[in-house]
Amino acid sequence: MTEYPSDFEFDIVLRDGGVARFRPVKKGDTDSLKHFFGQVGPASRYFRFFRSKKDLTKKELAHFAEVDYEKRMAFVGMHEGKIVGVGGYEQTTDDSGTAEIAFLVRDDHQGRGIGTQLLQLLTRYARRREIARFRAFVLPDNVRMLRVLTDSGYRLERTLDDGVYAVTFPLIYSKDARVAEEEREKQAVASSLLPIFYPRSIAVIGASRDRESVGGRLFGNLLNGNFNGPIYPVNPNARVVSSVRAYPSILDIPDPVDLAFIVVPSKFTTAVVQECAKKGVKGLVTLSAGFSEIGEDGEVLEKELLEVVRSAGMRMVGPNCMGLLNTDPNIRLNGTFAPIHPPRGNVGMSSQSGALGIAILDYSLRNNIGISTFVSVGNKADISGNDLLLYWEDDHVTDVIVLYLESFGNPRKFVRIARRISKKKPIIAVKSGRTKAGTRAALSHTGALASLDVAVSALFNQAGVIRTNTMEELFDLSMLLANQPVPRGKRVGVVTNAGGPGILAADSIESNGLEVPELSPSLQKEIRKHLSPEASARNPVDLIASAGPKEYRHCLESMITSDEVDAIIAIFVPTSDERSVEVASILRDVAARHKGEKTLLSVFMSSSEAAMSQLKDEEIRIPTYRFPEAASWALARAARYGEWRRKPEGEVPEFEDLDEESARSIVSEILSRLGEEGGWLQPDEVERLFASFGIPVPKSVVAATEDQAVEAAKKLGGPVAMKVVSPTSLHKSDVGGVALDVRSEESIRSKHKHLMSTVNDSEGVLIQEMVPGGHEILIGMTEDPSFGPLIVFGLGGVYVELMGDVAFRIHPLTDLDAAEMIEEIKSARLLHGYRSFPQGDIPAVRETLLRVSALVEAVPEIAEMDINPLKVLAPGEGVKAVDARIRIKPMRQGWSPELSDIRAAAG
C-alpha cells in the first residue's frame, strides 16, 4: 500500500470566504466518519447511497477509512476539527483507467464549495496515479452534485439509464477546467477578504489610553477616520479608552464583531485569537511583533497562531504588520498606526515592510496619489500578496496595483494570477534583494548564470509586472498610470517654453526606447498659427520663453487631436509665479476636455504650490515631474507595459510524439542506482531521455578502449568528435577533454589515449559524429528553490559565461515565451543571418525550447540541465544537441508541478 500522501494536506478558501482543511482520509478516521454520517440529513444520504440509510456498518466504515491511496482514495474536508465532507474514488474492475467517484457533504455545509474542492483534489491525485477518467452515478434530483460536475470545466458525457445519470469525463486538465478553477478561486478569496476591508464592526484588542503607543494611535486613527460602524476597545485594565467604553475581553462585547485588530505581546496573541474564534470574528489584523521575524521561537508561536486562525476558518493580515486602510467613503477604515492618511483614489497598495509602509503613505500624500486600499502584510502568515491580487482583480475602485515585495509566497501562483490581471490593470512592483548575494552555487552553466534577481526579472517579464528599481521610480510610474491612459504607442510629442529642457527630454525619451517624431508640415502649420516667428514647431515644439497660456492651449490641443503622437510631455520653466499658475490651469482644462484621448504628462520646474494645486484635485490629476528625465523614464515604462498588454496570449503547446512514460521510467531506473542524492546522467542516458521527447542528438558511442573507438568511428562514418566521459568533469574543454574533426585511425587511437589521461575518473571516450557548421547556442534549466524550474537560452559554446548574453523564463514556457527568448538576446541577429554568419533554423530552436519545457514538466526530478552547444543548422535542417548534461534528484516531499498551484489559504 502507498504511504499516506502528506503533501495533499491543504487549507483552502471556500466559496463563502471561509477556510476548510482538506486532507487524505486516515485509518484512524473511523469514529469521525461515523459521527459525520450521523450529522448528514436523510435526503443527502439517499442521494449518496440511492436508498434510505440510517447508519454505517463497521464493515462500511472500515471500507471508507482504509483506502490504499492507489486504486482507492478519499479526501475529507474539515471545519473546526470535524469532518464536514468526504469525497473518494475507486478504480473499476472492468477498466483500470476509469475510477468511480462519490461525494457526501454535511447539509449545513452544502453550497460552500466543499464538494467542488474535493473533486479538484481527487482529479489532481488521480492524474498522478495515471487514472484517465472519472465516472459518477447521480440521481436526477441530486441537483447540487450535477452542478458540481457541470461547473468543473471538464467535458462531460452524460447518459440516463434506469433513472440514473452516468456522468463520465476525461481528467485532461483543459483550458476550460483551468478557467473554472481560477474563477472559483478569485471569488472565494475576494469573499474571504470582504470582512477585512468592509467590516460592519471592529474590536481593537490592546487599545490604549496612551495615545503615543501603537494601540493608542491605531484606535485614535479608527475614531478620527469616522469608521462607518461601531468600534469596541478591548483593554482589561481600562474602563474607558478615548471616551469610549472598554471591555475586558472580546467575549464581553455584547454585539457581533467582524474584524479584530490585535495589539498585544506575542505570548498572549494565540489566546486572544482563540477568544476571537469563539466570538465568531471573521477577520484579524495582527499588528503584534515577535513571531517568525525573530527566529525559531517566533516561528513556533506563528505556527500555533496560524493553526488557530485556520481551524476557525478566519483570515488574518500579519502578524508583525502596521495594519490596513480602505478610503471608500462607505466604510472609512483607517486601521493603521501611521500618522498619515493618504487621499482617496484608485491605487491598491501592499507593503511587506511596516516602516516602508509609513513612507509609502507619506509619499502618496505629498504626491497626491490617491489610494483605494492599503495593506501592510507583515509576515504574510495567512493573507499574502497573491490573495490581495485576487481581491483587487475585480475591485471596481482599484485601477492600479502597487507592491513592495521582499519575498514571494508562491511564485508560480503569482505568475499565473499577475499575468491575467496585468491584461486589465497595471501591476507595479519594487522587489528588494537584487545583488549577487542572491546567487547560489551551481555546477552547470545555467546554474552559474541564474540568480534570485534573474528569477524575479523572468517572473515579472512573463507576468507583465512593471518592475522599478527604487521607491522613487515606483511612485513616478504610479502617478502616471493612476491618472492617465496607457500610451497607445511609442511616439511622444514635447511642448516646452525653453530649448534646453526640450533637448534633455528628447534625448531621454529616445534613450528609453521611445520616439520623438518630426511633426508633419500640416500639423506644424496648424501649431504655428498662434506662435511667434521665433518658435519651432518641429518636435520638440519650442514655444520660447514669452509663451503663455494661449500658446500652450493651442499647441496641446493641436497635438492631442492629431494622430501623429501617442503621448505628450508639456514642460514649463517658470518666468513668474503668476504665469506658472496660468499655464497649470490651462493644462488642467485641456486634460479635462480631452480626458483619456492621449497620455499627458507635465514637467513643472517650479516650486509654486499654487501652480501644483491646479494639476491635482479629485477630478483631474496630471502627473507632474520636476525634471524631464523622470517623466521620460515613467512614460517609457508605461509604453512598454502597453506593448505587453497588446500582445496575444501564449499557449503551452502539446506534442503528440512525446513518450512521457518512457522518460519517467528512464529517470526512475537511474535514481534507483544513484540513490537519495541523485547525480549526473551518463551520455547514453541523456541520449535516451532526449529521444523520448524528440530532441535531436548526433549519433554516438562510448568507447572504453582504442579498438572500440576505431570501430565506432567506422560505423559512424566521416570525421568524429571525441569527448572524455567523466562524472566530475562537467566542462570538458576546461580539462582538455575534447577533440574535434578527428579522421584517421592513428589520430583516433592517439586522441583516445590522451583524453583518457586528462582526468583520473575517466569512464571512456564518447565517439560522436561531427556536426559541421551552424550556430552554437545554449538551452538549459536549473531549479530555483523558490521559483521552481528556470529555463535559459543564449549564445552557446565557451561564450555563454564570457558574454552572459542570455534570456531566462520561468517554466512552463508558452510559444510566445520561446519566441521572445530568442529575440531578447543581443546576439539574436546572428541567427537571422548577419554578415558572414549564415541564417539558422529559428523555428527548430523555438520547438526545442518548448520540448525542453515539456520534458521538465513531465520529469520534475530533473534539477539541472545544459544543452551546450545546441547546433543550429541551416533553415529546414533543424538542430542537434552536440553536448548535454543533466542532473536528477528525487522530488522533494510535498512538491509537484500541479500541487504547487492549488489554492491554499496561505497564498
Look at the block and give the residue holding cell 500652450. 552
Q: Look at residue 878 and tell me whether its pLDDT is greater than 70.
A: yes
Residue ranges of the alpha helices (H) in 81-155?
114-128, 143-150
Q: Look at residue 438 and tell me whether its pLDDT is greater than 50.
A: no
Cell of 501: 529642457
Across 711-722, average pLDDT: 90
In which band, very low, low, confident or very high, does the pLDDT at 450 lie, cut at 50, 70 and 90? low
Residues 6+ apart with CB under 8 A from 832: 839, 840, 842
Between 696 and 684, whose confidence is greater? 696
Between 563 and 432, whose confidence is greater? 563
d(C-alpha 354, C-alpha 808), whole Å: 32
Cell of 357: 509602509
Q: In this predicted structure, which of 93-107, 250-264, 553-567 has the lowest mean pLDDT?
A: 93-107
Q: Look at residue 191 and tell me whether its pLDDT is greater than 90.
A: yes
Across 784-788, average pLDDT: 77
Cβ pair 93, 54 in contact under 8 A:
no
Look at the block and give the residue holding cell 475614531. 223
Q: What pLDDT is recorded for position 797? A: 61
Q: Encode burial over 715-724: b for 16+ CB neighbours within 10 A, e otherwise.
A: ebeeebbbbb
DSSP annotation of 535:
-
d(C-alpha 164, C-alpha 145), whole Å: 13
Cβ pair 810, 458 in contact under 8 A:
yes
Look at the block and give the residue holding cell 500579519. 318
In which band, very low, low, confident or very high, does the pLDDT at 900 lie, cut at 50, 70 and 90? very low
Q: Work out the percent of the chain whose per-residue pLDDT is above 90.
A: 68
In which band, very low, low, confident or very high, does the pLDDT at 835 lie, cut at 50, 70 and 90? confident
Across 420-442, average pLDDT: 71
Q: What pLDDT is recorded for position 437? A: 40
Residues 6+ apart with CB under 8 A from 613: none
Q: Is the pTM of this model over 0.95?
A: no
Q: What pLDDT is recorded for position 725? A: 87
In which band, very low, low, confident or very high, does the pLDDT at 433 lie, cut at 50, 70 and 90? low
Cβ pair 852, 781 in contact under 8 A:
yes
Q: What pLDDT is recorded for position 449? A: 56
Looking at the DSSP assignment, which residues form a beta bridge with residue 105?
85
Across 61-82, average pLDDT: 93
In which band, very low, low, confident or very high, does the pLDDT at 907 lie, cut at 50, 70 and 90? very low
Assign 377 to helix, strand or coil.
coil
Q: Is 174 exposed, middle or buried, given 0-12, 13-18 or 19+ CB atoms closer than 10 A?
A: middle
What are the angstrom distances between the C-alpha of 311 and each of 38, 263, 314, 380, 753?
22, 21, 8, 17, 68
Q: In terms of C-beta distances under 8 Å and separation of at least 24 residues, what long-range contacts does 826-834 make, across chains too?
A: 827/794, 827/795, 827/803, 830/775, 830/795, 831/775, 831/777, 831/872
Q: Look at residue 216 and tell me whether its pLDDT is greater than 50.
A: yes
Highest mean pLDDT among 202-211, 365-374, 652-661, 670-679: 202-211
Residues 6+ apart with CB under 8 A from 453: 433, 434, 435, 438
Distance of CA 758 to the CA centre of its chain: 46
Q: Look at residue 677 and tell me whether its pLDDT is greater than 90.
A: no
Look at the block and give the residue holding cell 499574502. 384
Distance of CA 728 to the CA centre of its chain: 36
In which band, very low, low, confident or very high, does the pLDDT at 204 lie, cut at 50, 70 and 90? very high
Q: Look at residue 608 and tell me whether its pLDDT is greater than 80.
A: no
Q: Look at residue 226 and tell me whether its pLDDT is greater than 60.
A: yes
Residue 349: HSE in the Cβ half-sphere, 13 Å Cα cutoff? 37
Helices and strands of the chain, counted as H and E runs: 29, 38
Look at the block and give the residue holding cell 491584461. 423
In which band, very low, low, confident or very high, does the pLDDT at 537 lie, cut at 50, 70 and 90? very high
Q: Is 397 exposed, middle or buried, given 0-12, 13-18 or 19+ CB atoms closer than 10 A?
A: middle
d(C-alpha 623, C-alpha 630), whole Å: 11
In which band, very low, low, confident or very high, does the pLDDT at 902 lie, cut at 50, 70 and 90? very low
Q: Encode burial over 436-464: b for 16+ CB neighbours within 10 A, e otherwise.
A: eeeeeebbbbbbbbbbbbbbbbbbbbbbb
How many residues in the chain? 907
Q: What pLDDT is recorded for position 446? A: 54
What are the φ/ψ torsions at residue 445 (nearest 5 degrees)? -55, -45
Q: What pLDDT is recorded for position 897? A: 47
Cβ pair 372, 397 in contact under 8 A:
yes
DSSP annotation of 1:
-
What are the angstrom distances between the C-alpha of 842 and each of 448, 654, 846?
26, 19, 6
Q: In this predicted structure, which of 98-112, 208-222, 343-357, 392-406 has the lowest mean pLDDT?
A: 343-357
d(C-alpha 539, C-alpha 903), whole Å: 52
In which band, very low, low, confident or very high, does the pLDDT at 94 lie, cut at 50, 70 and 90? confident
In which band, very low, low, confident or very high, does the pLDDT at 799 lie, cut at 50, 70 and 90? low
Cα dihedral across residues 683, 689, 694, 695: positive or negative: negative
